[in-house]
A and B are shown apart, each in its own frame.
Chain A
Amino acid sequence: MAIAIKAEGLSKSFTGTSAVIDLNLEVQPGELLALLGPSGSGKTTFLRLVAGLETPGSGRILFGNEDATSLSVQDRRVGFVFQHYALFRHLTVAENIAYGLRVRPRRERPPAADIRQRVENLLDLVQLPGLGRRYPRQLSGGQRQRVALARALAVEPRVLLLDEPFGALDAKVRRDLRRWLREIHDRTGHTTLFVTHDQEEALELADRVAVFNRGSIEQVGTPDEILDRPATQFVAGFVGEAVRLPVDAKGGWIRLGPHALVTPNDDVSGPAQLFVRPRDLAVADEPSDGIRARVVAVRRTGPARRAELALADGLPTVEIELPVRCSVSKGDLLPVTLSTVRLFTSR
């Protein structure tokens, strides 16, 4: 299959500090790709490089077979959605959406009636029919971001670039808009890149996720691959609320404080890092089978209960997810087993 966007050896630095270092990425047509990473990891810089809002220090950006590196922002035909909407405050919603069509040179500009019709259709698409005459300040945050998306879609962009699109909204609106964005994407089929630091958002929404760290991509893959087969220590630690435990590995066995555990990957040996997520732990059926862990704290999180466990003295505490009916309290000894072993050699 053809490739929609390709970054080749892309680098960018700002006054001495590198934001993006020798980055390679291929985006499939029609794909919804999340750029996930902590703040300062270079994901927004990469998005702005694709848009043409920054010029790369070195490397190339291809749109299809066309080298877009030297194309101006205007000629790249990208739809860009900003975290804080960047709606034109002196224009109405309809005028905002029509902006990209109205600034075209006269011979490329659609007739006024066509523009009006397009605006109507887009307002329907983003589920804001009849709000064309409002001003941005009369809308809620979620509505503003919908208008911003409609405005970006109006120019029929080759790719859609979203920079933390839900970052300024509260949790409930975020969840609604997330589902809504997925619907719009499935209906319009635009190749879409979106930046987020919220892993839940990235893993739930995207076809594939690129995990950024310090200006490079650590891993690109489907949410399943990222969650189940993290390629690097960073990915293993960043996704899934993992806790990192120092262990000693040797010949298929790992030593965790006073406990010994079996591990399938016997190629790791010597000092290593074990990444444990809340769902990796389960209460042992037979008390004698498990690691006896001390309950340090119990919390209620939504439909489940979470207990903080100390597997051994001096180790960071890990969390376990428990059914609500399971009654444990602080100070109890709980036998637990580890279902998944995620092990990386210490660097």
Chain B
Amino acid sequence: MRDGALADGRAARWILIALAVSFLILFLVLPLLAVFTEALRRGVMAFFTAFDDPDTWAAIELTLLVAAIAVPLNMVFGLSAAWAIAKFEFPGKSLLITLIDLPFSISPVVSGLVYVLLFGAKGLLGPLLDDWDFKVIFAVPGVVLATIFVTFPFIARELIPLMQEQGTSDEEAALTLGASGFQTFVTVTLPNVSWALLYGVLLCNARAMGEFGAVSVVSGHIRGLTNTMPLHVEILYNEYNLVGAFAVASLLAGLALVTLGAKSLLEWRHGDALARVHRH
């Protein structure tokens, strides 16, 4: 076949490959390289002194904290939502599916504004929170809430199609063999979706660390307190501290690359299971 029908298209094939590769280089590889070269422009020492700044460390810590709260919570939410949707019939199911997709379809800035309107000083619940002396907006809880909202669909979306395809026979088999509901969930449902769940967690984590829009609205950009890494990059950049900005940016990019690497490794080792997820 290689010498047959497709041989005539050899020139066309090379042109298409060249187009795709140059597109990749221009729009993905070069910007990524630029981030690292900018960060190292003044030498390795300058790169590391950028991390001497306590505000930078505060931003890194806050980013890790937010991800450490948002990702496990969304794992629980996503798993329960996917389980309910895939294994049971109930009224309002399609509404729930639409709601899960909501954070994907609206702009992150709008999601941030929603929280300001809800929890802000002049917001719906503002006076109540004021009485309790609890700050959500321009404080860490707001950043966490906004991140949870924006990253909510990642895990659920990953699990729903797989769980739907697997159906309920495996669970029913476990029940007839005497397993309790909880045993069934732990020994049958969870292992059946474990790779898809890990994949969803990776994507969710990448987005939780990188989220800018929604977090920007609710954080108030207080240095050392409510700045996450993406927000800190913007502040440094606006102050013309290019090395600092790109140093933090390179750290973010590094995290993204690690996530991508882990994702590719998963796809390579468990391609069949994940392919089933992504057929949709």
For the residues of B in contact with A, the DSSP-based class is: helix
Segment 91-112 of A: residues with Cβ below 8 Å from B: 99-100, 103-104
Enumerate chain B residues within 8 angstroms of A80, measured Cβ to Cβ. Answer: 172-173, 176
CB of B177 within 8 A of CB of A155, answer yes
CB of B187 within 8 A of CB of A103, answer yes
A51 is contacted by which of B174, B176, B178 (Cβ under 8 Å)?
B176
State which of A1-9, A81-89, A138-146, A227-235 sits at the interface with chain B: A81-89
Quick check: is A79 within 8 A (CB to CB) of the other chain?
Answer: yes
A86-B178 in contact given A103-B183, A103-B187 (Cβ < 8 Å)? no
Q: Hey, what's the 0/1 contact readout for B171-187 against A, CB within 8 Å counting as 1?
A: 01111111110010001
Quick check: is B105 within 8 A (CB to CB) of the other chain?
Answer: no
CB of A82 within 8 A of CB of B177, answer no
> Nearest A residue to B180 by beta-carbon distance?
A74
B174 is contacted by which of A89, A99, A154 (Cβ under 8 Å)?
A99
Interface residues on B, range: 10 to 19
Task: Tell me the minimal C-beta distance from A74 to chain B in angstroms.
Answer: 5
CB of A73 within 8 A of CB of B169, answer no
Enumerate chain A residues within 8 angstroms of B178, measured Cβ to Cβ. Answer: 74, 77, 100, 103-104, 155
Enumerate chain A residues within 8 angstroms of B177, measured Cβ to Cβ. Answer: 99-100, 103, 151-152, 154-155
Bound complex: CA of A86 vs CA of B170, how far in Å? 5
Q: Hey, what's the 0/1 contact readout for B240-258 against A, CB within 8 Å counting as 1?
A: 0000000000000000000
Task: Tell me the minimal C-beta distance from B119 to chain A in angstroms.
Answer: 41
Interface residues on A, range: 20 to 34
Bound complex: CA of A216 vs CA of B49, how far in Å? 82
A103-B192 in contact given A86-B169, A86-B170, A86-B172 (Cβ < 8 Å)? no
CB of B170 within 8 A of CB of A88, answer yes
Task: Tell me the minimal C-beta distance from B26 to chain A in angstroms.
Answer: 43
Quick check: is B191 within 8 A (CB to CB) of the other chain?
Answer: yes
> Nearest A residue to B183 by beta-carbon distance?
A103
> Nearest A residue to B194 by beta-carbon distance?
A90
Segment 114-160 of A: residues with Cβ below 8 Å from B: 148, 151-152, 154-155
Bound complex: CA of A80 vs CA of B170, how far in Å? 11
> Nearest B residue to A81 by beta-carbon distance?
B173
CB of A73 within 8 A of CB of B183, answer no
Bound complex: CA of A78 vs CA of B169, how far in Å? 15
Quick check: is A53 within 8 A (CB to CB) of the other chain?
Answer: yes
Segment 180-208 of B: residues with Cβ below 8 Å from A: 180, 183, 187-188, 191-192, 194
Task: Tell me the minimal C-beta distance from B31 to chain A in angstroms.
Answer: 41
> Nearest A residue to B166 by beta-carbon distance?
A89
Q: Which of A80, A103, A152 has the most CB of B within 10 A?
A: A103
CB of B192 within 8 A of CB of A73, answer no
> Nearest B residue to A51 by beta-carbon distance?
B176
Enumerate chain A residues within 8 angstroms of B170, measured Cβ to Cβ. Answer: 86, 88
A53 is contacted by which of B175, B183, B188, B191 (Cβ under 8 Å)?
B175
Bound complex: CA of A143 vs CA of B175, how far in Å? 22
> Nearest A residue to B173 by beta-carbon distance?
A86
CB of A88 within 8 A of CB of B176, answer no
Bound complex: CA of A51 vs CA of B177, how far in Å? 11
> Nearest B residue to A75 by beta-carbon distance?
B178
A103-B176 in contact given A88-B188, A90-B192 (Cβ < 8 Å)? no
Enumerate chain A residues within 8 angstroms of B179, measured Cβ to Cβ. Answer: 74, 99-100, 103
Enumerate chain B residues within 8 angstroms of A99, measured Cβ to Cβ. Answer: 174, 177, 179, 187
CB of A90 within 8 A of CB of B175, answer no
Task: Tell me the minimal C-beta distance from B276 to chain A in angstroms.
Answer: 12
CB of A82 within 8 A of CB of B169, answer yes
Enumerate chain B residues within 8 angstroms of A148, measured Cβ to Cβ. Answer: 173
Segment 39-61 of A: residues with Cβ below 8 Å from B: 51-53
Enumerate chain B residues within 8 angstroms of A51, measured Cβ to Cβ. Answer: 176
Enumerate chain B residues within 8 angstroms of A90, measured Cβ to Cβ. Answer: 191-192, 194
Q: Which of B175, B177, B178, B191 has the most CB of A within 10 A?
A: B177
> Nearest B residue to A137 by beta-carbon distance?
B272
Bound complex: CA of A279 vs CA of B60, how far in Å? 84
Q: A78-B176, A100-B179 are in contact. List 18 more A-B contacts (CB 8 A).
A: A52-B176, A53-B172, A73-B175, A74-B175, A77-B178, A82-B173, A84-B169, A88-B188, A88-B191, A90-B191, A90-B192, A99-B179, A100-B177, A103-B178, A103-B179, A104-B178, A148-B173, A155-B177
16 inter-chain pairs at a CB distance below 8 angstroms, sorted by A residue, are A51-B176, A53-B175, A74-B175, A74-B176, A74-B178, A79-B176, A80-B172, A80-B173, A80-B176, A88-B174, A88-B191, A103-B180, A103-B183, A104-B178, A154-B177, A155-B178
The list of the 4 closest CB pairs from A to B, nearest first, reads A100-B177, A86-B169, A86-B173, A80-B176
